[in-house]
Structure 1
Amino acid sequence: MNKIILIETELFKLKDEKYKDFHKNLIPNVKEDTLLGIRVPILRQFSKKLYKENPKLAEDFLKKLPHKYYEENNLHSFIIGNIKDFQEVMTLIEEFLPYVDNWGVCDSLAPKILKKYPKETYEKIKFWLNSPHPYTVRFAIGLLLSNYLDKEFHEEMLDLVSKIKSDKYYINMMIAWYFATALAKQYESTIPYIQNKILSPWVHNKTIQKSIESKRISPDIKIYLKTLKVSTKSKN
């Protein structure tokens, strides 16, 4: 039996039909027949066990692209996250990103090793932000959100993200999440982008909405942000 088929067989053992019915509504652009319904903590645990106990099989699995099932793609992300070699991880990310076609898999790709190489990773982020592939762009913005709004923050990052103009919902939603998080963590640097209405109207208002929903932003700032909402109605 093909060793890769063994992984698929194990994944089928972990599927949960009730969870599938719930989760399919969260990722509407994923075909239902490619969705097994495996809870993320269970899949993460499986990835760690596979990588630790059978690294060769894990390595072979990473070479088998494209995958058929949504959970196989998430497993792919989680296996990459277990790898400690930075250059290997970067190579694997580059190979995998063209096959990422939904927000769930995109956001599951978050290798911790990248935090140890902020300068090198940032150079790649700037390259990924200009990709024609929407989920590569979303991935890059997500890294700026998770890894670069604290001690590694630089104001130019806000400018880079603000210049992204897209008609893709999942890019625009991530831009809004990024600026809402930036308002919570780097308020003085971020608020001019809202005051001066730099973002597209939809992203601008979604940023304010997410900020108002955040527990990390004070009530006074939330009141002020409400006054900065813009109209999204066409003037025609």
Structure 2
Amino acid sequence: MTIQEDIEAFLALHADEGYRAFQAKLIPNIDPGSIIGVRTPDLRKFAKRLARRSDVDEFLAMLPHRIFEKAQLHSFVIVQERDFGRLVAQMERFLPFVDNWATCDQLSCRGLAVDPDAALAKVRSWLESDREYTVRFAIGVLMQLFLDERFRPEHFAWVVGVSRPEYYVNMMRAWYFAEALAKQPAAAEEVIVSGVLDVWTHNKAIQKAVESRRISPEQKERLRALRRRLS
């Protein structure tokens, strides 16, 4: 059986119409007809088997994927790569074809942690991309890998400096600063107080932060007072 036949058989076997309809509502910017309705744990498990096939590169070369679950499988396969250089190369080949927040956010960046300096260099270049989900992915890397012991204050300036109209980019910027308010509260609150973020992202970051159990009641009160009016 070819790898394409293997994938088609797996997707047909695990298709769930109810879950397909649920997914279509969560990802409204893609064609609902591109969604089959296969649950993520099943995709992850199958991707581990695909990654061991000698012909896996044949599947990885089939870009763009017209089916949402095939893009998910692609992301779950490439993140099993343990060599940093090959992992980055696979990500950079795939990212231009990512067209939704779910595939973007489920493309794990954990493997980039083996070389933080090189990862940061890639983040800087991805932030300059003209592609919406490449920028979203870059901010996600900063959020997941660089808000704890690897944090540097200049990372905030990088995210503040992203000036784009897309909802899913600015939602990630807001999510990033909401996480920062929990993990780097003093430095992140300075950003909020300064008012350097656009009003929508500023207010959304505050909203997400005050919904968090990791933010103290006192900090929540300060943040609520910093909400800004849309002009």
Please, what TM-score do these two structures have when normalized by structure 2?
Answer: 0.97
State whether residues 3 and 56 of structure 2, in contact with CA within 8 Å, keep that contact through their aligned partners in structure 1: no
Match of 1:224 in 2: 222
Task: Find the counterpart in structure 1 of residue 98 from structure 2.
Answer: 100
Between 107-116 and 177-186, report the one with greater CA deviation.
107-116
CA contact (8 A) 1:155 1:189 kept: yes
Q: Which residue is equivalent to 2:55?
A: 57
Paired position in structure 1 for 2:28? 28
- Write the letter of the residue equivalent to 2:187: S
Distance 1:112 1:29 in 2: 27
Q: Write the distance in 2 (CA, Å) between the matches of 1:98 and 1:8.
A: 24
The residue type paired with residue 62 of structure 2 is K
CA contact (8 A) 2:24 2:35 kept: yes
Q: How many Å separate the matches in 2 of 1:8 and 1:115?
A: 33
Q: CA deviation at 1:58?
A: 2.2
Spell out the pairing of 1:146-185 with structure 2 (5 A cutoff): 146-185=144-183
Deviations 1:108-158 (A, max 9, x none): 111421111111010010010011111110000000000000111100000
Separation in 1, partners of 2:64, 2:22: 25
List structure 1 segments (4+ residues) > 6 angstroms apart after TM superposition: none
Q: 1:192 to 1:199 in 2, by over 3 A?
A: same
Shift of 1:2: 4.8
AA paired with 1:151? E
User: Any conservation in 1 of the 2:203–2:228 contact (CA below 8 Å)?
Assistant: yes
Match of 1:124 in 2: 122
> d(CA) in 2 for partners of 1:219 and 1:37?
40
Gaps of 5+ in 2: none
2: CA distance, partners of 1:11 / 1:215: 38
Q: Which deviates more, 4-13 or 209-218?
A: 4-13
Q: Bigger CA drift: 160-169 or 103-112?
A: 103-112
Structure 1: any 5+ residue segments left out of the alignment? Answer: none
Q: CA deviation at 1:3?
A: 3.4
Counterpart contact for 1:15–1:36, Cα < 8 Å: yes
Further displaced range: 104-113 or 35-44: 104-113
| Residue type at the aligned position of 2:71 | N
The root-mean-square deviation of aligned C-alpha atoms, in Å, is 1.1
User: How many corresponding residue pairs?
Assistant: 231
2:190 maps to what in 1?
192
Distance 1:222 1:162, change over 3 A: same
Whole-Å separation in 1 of the counterparts to 2:99 and 2:153: 30
